[in-house]
Amino acid sequence: MTAADWAGFWDAKATAPTDFQATGRGLMDEVGFLYTVHEIVRLLAPRREQVLIDVGCGSGLISLALAPWLARIHAFDLSPNMVERARRNLSQVANVEVAVGSIADMALPDACGDRLLAYSVLQYLDGEATLVRALREIFRVLRPGGRALLAANPDPARRGALEQVIRARPDQEAAERELALQDTLLWVTPERLCELARDAGFHAHAEAISDRIWQHFYMFDLVLEKP
């Protein structure tokens, strides 16, 4: 699927009843979300004077949670409808701005951010060439010493475990649609992602996801440091 296809996909999702459903986390509960925020803070270690770039911000919940602890947040999403939902959720938060944008083409100046978060974003890129462009773009917008967390990436070695969970769902028509969706995603091993990130100039390592977050059994986090 192209970027335009995914924008349409998330435009439709943006009309869901809840913010978790809108961002594709319909199985996440409140505790799982709080652990997600805890993990982001642990790995990114943001400070109050810093600028965060939140790419693939969805309905804006993570930016909302992190805003009190940062000087400014630039939030982007590929979906115009999702951006509007995020703007509504962040309407009373003065230090967050939300715009339509892509991780492979951010409308930001060079070296403008201290931290960058992309939560469950890389899997929606249309191939390794776009992934490489995204990594170079992340390197461009981060300041020296900056850190990026590219979180919740599906590991191809664990795809079978996810498919088993999907097949066990009671709604078999929905399960078949979910299985077909997996074929459109970009599945990259932790080793390959680290290799590509190092080629882009980063120090990189993979991290396991907390078992309090439901996707932990088939996804991993990637942490990048710009020298």
Instruction: Determine the pLDDT at residue 26.
Output: 72
Instruction: Determine the pLDDT at residue 112.
Output: 98
Distances (CA, A) of 80 to 83, 89, 134, 144, 167: 5, 14, 20, 31, 32
Residue range 92-113: average pLDDT? 97
User: How is residue 46 written in tokens?
Assistant: 């943001």
The mean of the pLDDT values for the chain is 96
Instruction: Name the pLDDT band for 167 (thresholds 50, 70, 90).
Output: very high
Return the percentage of the chain with pLDDT > 90, whole number.
93
Name residue, tokens 């270690």. Answer: 45
Closest by CA position to 57, among listed 15, 101, 13: 101
- pLDDT tens digits, one per residue of 34-87: 999 999 999 999 999 999 999 999 999 999 999 999 999 999 999 999 999 999
Could you write out the DSSP letters of every residue in 27-93?
Answer: T--HHHHHHHHHHHHHHH---TT-EEEEET-TTSHHHHHHGGGSSEEEEEES-HHHHHHHHHHTTT-
pLDDT at 141 over 90: yes
Beta bridge partners of 143: none
Instruction: Name the pLDDT band for 226 (thresholds 50, 70, 90).
Output: very high
pLDDT at 24 over 90: no
- Which stretch of 168-172, 201-205, 222-226 has the lowest confidence by average pLDDT? 168-172
Domains of the chain: 3-225 (3.40.50.150)
> At CA 124, angle to CA 118 and CA 129, rounded to 5?
95
